[in-house]
Chains A and B, each alone.
Chain A
Amino acid sequence: MHKTMNRNSNVYTVIYATVLTVLVAILLSAASLGLKDKQKANTDNEKKQQILQSVASKLGKEVTFENAADLWQELKMDDAMFCVNTKGEKVDGKAFDIASKSLFSAGKIIPEATLPVYVANINGVPYRIMSMYGAGLWGPIWGYLSVDPEGKVAGVSFDHDSETAGLGSKIKDDPAFANAFIGKSIFTDGKFTSVSVTKAGKPANYGGEKVDAITGATKTSDYVGIMIYESLLGYVPFIQGGTAQAGCCQKHEGNCGEKETCGMEGCQKEACTPESCGKEECKAQCGDKSECAAKAECADKAECDACKKAE
Chain B
Amino acid sequence: MANEKKPGVFTGPLWTNNPVVVQVLGICSALAVTTQMKPALVMGISLTCVLAFANVIISVLRNTIPNRIRIIVQLVVVAALVILVNQILKAYVYDVSKALSVYVGLIITNCILMGRLEAFALGNKPFPALLDGLGNGIGYALILFITATLRELFGSGTLFGYDVLARFVNEAGYDGYQNCGFFTMPAAALIILGCIIWYQRAKNPDLQDK
Contact = CB atoms under 8 A, between A and B. Distances in A.
Q: Report if A and B associate in a common complex.
A: yes
Interface of A: 1, 7-8, 12-13, 16-17, 20-21, 24, 27-28, 31-32, 35, 38-39, 42-43, 45-46, 65, 164-166
A73 B133 CA distance: 46
Contacts of A43: 94
B72 A166 contact: no
Contacts of A24: 76-77, 79-80
Interface of B: prevailing SS: helix
A17 B72 contact: yes
Contacts of A35: 87-88, 90-91
B123 to A, nearest CB: 13
Interface string B108-151: 00000000000000000000000000000000000000000000
Given A21-B76, A24-B80, A12 B94 contact: no
A12 B66 contact: yes
B82 to A, nearest CB: 10
Given A42-B90, A65-B95, 4 more contacts: A17-B66, A24-B77, A35-B88, A166-B179
Given A35-B87, A35-B91, A38-B92, A13 B80 contact: no
B3 interface: no
Contact of A39 (B83, B91, B95): B91
B161 to A, nearest CB: 13
A131 B44 CA distance: 37
B155 to A, nearest CB: 8
A109 B88 CA distance: 36
B204 interface: no
B67 A165 contact: no
Q: Which of B65, B67, B80 lies at the interface centre, i.e. has the most chain A CB atoms within 10 A of its CB?
A: B80
B7 to A, nearest CB: 28
5 contacts: A1-B63, A13-B66, A20-B73, A24-B76, A65-B95
Contact of A13 (B69, B76, B91): B69
Contact of B184 (A16, A21, A165): A165
A160 to B, nearest CB: 13
- State the 4 A-B residue pairs at the shortest beta-carbon distance, nearest first: A38-B91, A42-B94, A35-B91, A13-B66
B83 A16 contact: no
Q: Which of B76, B87, B155 lies at the interface centre, i.e. has the most chain A CB atoms within 10 A of its CB?
A: B87
A108 B72 CA distance: 45
Contact of B67 (A8, A17, A31): A8
A138 to B, nearest CB: 12
Q: Chain B, interface size: which category?
A: 20 to 34
B68 interface: yes
B65 to A, nearest CB: 7
A31 B79 CA distance: 14
Given A24-B76, A166-B181, A7 B90 contact: no
B90 A39 contact: yes
Contacts of B84: 27-28, 31
Interface in B48-103: 63-69, 72-73, 76-77, 79-80, 83-84, 87-88, 90-92, 94-95
B188 to A, nearest CB: 12
Contact of B65 (A16, A46, A65): A16
Nearest to B180: A166
Contacts of B184: 165-166
B68 to A, nearest CB: 6
Contacts of B92: 38
Contacts of A28: 80, 83-84
A31 B87 contact: yes
Contacts of B73: 16-17, 20
Contacts of A39: 87, 90-91
A32 B67 contact: no
A38 to B, nearest CB: 4
A7 B66 contact: yes
B58 to A, nearest CB: 12
Nearest to A13: B66
Nearest to B90: A39
B74 to A, nearest CB: 11
